[in-house]
């Protein structure tokens, strides 16, 4: 692996640790353009890397009490099934379609990152909202969003965290730090499910997955540390600008 590839691995973990999302948005292009892995293999291998890295990042957040296991199980149950389905669809979807959708996903993530941060509800209000999410209507909404996020995540090789975080805040009322930690737990489940969906159908370099994941894990530990110490707004804005340029490059190079 080149120095740039190693830096990309570190960035993958760093972004996951800080935001609870965005790792796949770095990993797939890095494998595709820096390591020169074929597109479908890069998508599949990205899910494997994120599954391992997000597991470690989840543990870091869990130690700080920022992982809600109840919400992880409720949301994760639906999103995992969607991710597996998305991965199976991805096996047969034309590469140009996957990369086009991937670019749109990156633009959507950039839009979210560049928006001003909102003041979220208090932990007390969040607890009430979580209890209200036992109603049938809330369960239906949670299930539909979980499946939709999962399908998209499996199709384009991302964990879906940038969609899961706001969904957890709006549906379950979790404070932002708990939403990030809980999203990481769900991303772990999603990515593992998507990876299994591709395995056996797409060529996968398991040694490269392990190497990239090991580098990303180091980044995730640093990211989890920084998440509690650096101004999140500055980090969000920098990442959002990066996503705009990266999405535009993919569209120009591989789609248009």
Residue 185 CA to chain centroid, in angstroms? 10
Specify which residues 202 forms β-bridges with.
199
Q: What are phi and psi of 135, to 5 degrees?
A: -70, 155
Domain that holds residue 135: 3-255
Dihedral class, residue 6 (left if φ above 0, else alpha if ψ from -120 to 50, else beta): alpha
pLDDT score for 123: 41
pLDDT score for 45: 92
Q: Report which of 154, 169, 157 is spatially closest to residue 78, judged by C-alpha positions.
A: 154
pLDDT score for 132: 42
Convert the pLDDT of each residue in 186-241 to its tens digit: 989 988 988 998 988 889 999 999 998 998 888 878 877 776 676 667 766 777 78
At 124, the pLDDT band (50, 70, 90 cuts) reads very low
pLDDT reading at 167 higher than 80:
no
Contacts of 123 (CB under 8 A, 6+ apart): 175
pLDDT reading at 2 higher than 50:
yes
30-39, 102-111, 164-173: which has the minimum mean pLDDT? Answer: 164-173
At 125, the pLDDT band (50, 70, 90 cuts) reads very low
CA–CA distance, 24 with 159 (Å, rounded to integer): 6
Convert the pLDDT of each residue in 31-62 to its tens digit: 888 888 998 999 899 999 989 988 888 888 89
Question: DSSP H helical segments within the chain, as ranges?
Answer: 3-19, 23-29, 39-63, 69-92, 95-114, 123-132, 136-156, 161-172, 176-198, 206-227, 232-250
pLDDT score for 48: 92
**Domains of the chain: total:** 1
- pTM of structure: 0.74
Give 6's Cβ-side CA count (13 Å radius): 3
pLDDT score for 235: 66
Count of residues in the chain: 256
């Amino acid at each position: 692996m080149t120095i740039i590839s190693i830096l990309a691995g570190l960035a993958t973990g760093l972004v996951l640790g800080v935001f609870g999302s965005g790792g796949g948005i770095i990993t797939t292009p890095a494998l595709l353009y820096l390591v020169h892995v074929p597109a479908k293999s890069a998508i599949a291998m990205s899910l494997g890397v994120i599954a391992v890295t997000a597991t470690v990042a989840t543990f870091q957040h869990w130690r700080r009490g920022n992982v809600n296991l109840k919400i992880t199980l409720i949301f994760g149950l639906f999103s995992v099934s969607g991710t597996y389905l998305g991965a199976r669809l991805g096996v047969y979807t034309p590469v140009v379609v996957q990369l086009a959708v991937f670019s749109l996903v990156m633009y959507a993530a950039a839009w979210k990152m560049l928006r001003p941060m909102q003041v979220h509800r208090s932990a007390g209000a969040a607890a009430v909202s979580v209890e209200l999410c036992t109603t049938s209507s809330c369960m239906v909404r949670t299930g539909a969003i979980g499946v939709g996020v999962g399908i998209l995540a499996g199709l384009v090789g991302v964990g879906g965290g940038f969609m899961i975080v706001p969904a957890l805040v709006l549906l379950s009322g979790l404070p932002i730090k708990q939403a990030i930690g809980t999203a990481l737990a769900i991303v772990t489940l999603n990515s593992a499910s998507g990876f299994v969906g591709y395995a056996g159908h797409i060529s996968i370099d398991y040694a490269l997955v392990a190497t990239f994941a090991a580098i990303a894990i180091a980044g995730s530990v640093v990211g989890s540390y920084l998440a509690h110490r650096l101004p999140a707004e500055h980090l969000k804005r920098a990442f959002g600008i990066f996503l705009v340029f990266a999405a535009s490059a993919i569209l120009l190079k591989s789609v248009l």
